[in-house]
Structure 1
Amino acid sequence: MQTLFLSREHIQTLHTADVLNAALAARVAQLETRQLEVEQLNVELRHQIADRSGHLVAAIRTMIDPGAKTPALAPGQIVQERYELQREIGSGGMGTVYEVVRLADRRHLALKVAHGFDAIALARLAREAQIASQLAHPNMVAILDVDISDQGFLYIVMELVVGKTLHEMRDRFGDPAWALPVLAEIADGLAALHRSGIVHRDLKPANVMLAEGANGERVAKIMDFGISRISQDETGSSGSMPSLDRTAPTLRENPRGPKSSPRSSSNTLTQAGSLCGTPQYMAPELMHVDRVLPSADVFSLGVLAYELLTKDAPWPEPASVVLDEGRILAPAISLAIHLPALDPAVATLFDRCLLLAPGDRPTAQDVALQLAKVKQTDA
């Protein structure tokens, strides 16, 4: 009887375990379903932001009041019944960034507005939202909302990134142990951007933020997509972002003054024959070639890497300017000469980024993979 009693007890225990396992499995399935729903909502939200931004880009071309000014924003002001303004974070040539609190969940975010109602500045802001809203990557600043306020100013809402730009951390330049992990993250973010069919076109220290991560670590984040473009492959076909309006106007600024004459009468915000980007970091081919390829960003990454690793620019004058003026550009001094202790594979990798022929440069993915291998070897 004792054996029978224990057997029944054992069976009851197994039955209870089966019931608990079934309940646990059902709960896990429920959570997985909810997680999938959240992911689908996030994807749908990004598409909605991109679509709305695309319409804004096209509409802003017709704005004819360049003299108007954006209303002053003050702490405590509520924007569209959604965001409470806290403070001004910073201001640049094209816009101002504020810290805000989202009223729905009290999350601190960044709100960016353009200076005045200049069509170029507004279109750049809308373009930035259109581009960045399609991207979800830890090494890129996330765009969460875009709209026009009741006061008539366009704004985009981004994750609030606490940290400093690389431009503000030049005192760390020349330290490979610090620079290489940063460059690896930049390359990883750039590769994700290129996989989405986008070329940044203005990668430079001021457009990379070193943010404070959740555990106190530093995370590199690429930002400012205001002059980004859909990439084209060697056959001229465009990149692989189906929801982005490829006919929407993009931006090019012309610093050469009134003597510069466009090669095209295309009514877009990226007029042929004008200059876009920062000459010191710009790939030489962007001075004359309208077709935009990811290899242009890789050149910028090479210049950035050279500066982070050596404190110096690869050339005394920007390569784009020297070649545009018809002068001969000598090859940059190899990183292996500047830094004999640097891994030869890394030195060669970044030397190749600076090659003048776009097709001879590695891809951003190549750079990311090579730096990941070096990190694993060092570990």
Structure 2
Amino acid sequence: MKLNNLKMAGTDEVVDVGISGEQIANVSSNPGTTSIEEIQITFRDALVFPGLINSHDHLDFNLFQQLGTRIYSNYTEWGKDIHQAYKTEIAAVLKVPEQLRSVWGVYKNLLGGVTTVVNHGEKQLLEDAPLTVFENSHCLHSVKFEKGWKIKLNNPLKIKLPVNIHIGEGVDWPSYDEIDQLTRWNLLRKKLIGVHAVAMSEAQAKNFEAIVWCPQSNYFLLNQTAQVNGLKNSTRLLFGTDSTLTSHWDIWEHLRSARATKQISDAELFQTVNQNASKTWLMNNGEVAAGKDADIVIAKIKDHKKGFDAFFAITPADLLLVMHKGNIRLFDETILGQLKNIHVAEYSKVYINGVGKYVQGDLPGLMEKIKEYYPAVRFPLSANN
């Protein structure tokens, strides 16, 4: 397959991208010879970039609306408060079987151009997911909420797995102190990947392989976020959305929130959702380059924007194609005519802000099943224009 006439995100270099099987075969700025039999898709005013890597989500918690009554000092205050203030709302969502909730969480990510999502929680073991659900880590919830966390942290049977844990999610002393507790009890010196790290100092960050920045969730709970402009000097930065319990469903809204802080450069923020994450989680994606997994997103360029301005202006409605390991998982209705060999029956048509998208799988059917358990659910798309 050949994807033609694309601008590379950040540089605006015009390239053609060749796909062979699950990998990128070549990336060329000079049009090459193409077999007559080869499938070709030609784009106009389109940006290409690696499939986004969302390094923190709770897949089964994405049917919730944002829940909170005030600004909190830490995550434990928030957890106690919402279970008192929103008992009815929480119970209504939890009536939906966990499997259905998790599959919706996968589609929530796919609709935004995410091709890899790191799930935090119990392993979902979802079959035939249209993206990579990464669960190859030692997942602990947090110092405060994970019973027996010291023993679990030092489980010798999981010594090769990085520890993936919420840490420093607060603005008070206990939030800062729990970071030191975690590193002090990391007796086996396992690789630590901390999520949120709002209370973390640069000195503490040196003990972590990476931190996952979730600014929109942090601002909703705490009205503050991690000081990543300093933390980046001590550790690697990744990016996460968390679930809709504390943030917007659309990862692009999160990226714009992060960009608005002006804590890191556009290039650095871009790398949090591709190369940085790929290196941390040891995956063969994160770049539009030969030999890498063909996790690729192509989006419409709006208002003749250039460079990273074009990238950070993207919305889910602008996505023209989402490819995961060489398979087209989502495409815009405007390129249907070029997809000669595609089995349209494997896809369902949905509308995002009135724009038609074909998504692999029966997404409308999933939405109807969820409504049987939770009639009040609100989805950010529709099956009818």
TM superposition score category, shorter chain reference: under 0.3
Kindly indicate which of the two structures has a greater share of residues assigned to strand: 2
TM-score by length of structure 2 reads 0.24
Tell which has more relative contact order, 1 or 2 (C-alpha 8 A, sep 6+).
2
Kindly indicate which of the two structures has a greater share of residues assigned to helix: 1
Question: Between Structure 1 and Structure 2, whose CA radius of gyration is higher?
Answer: 1
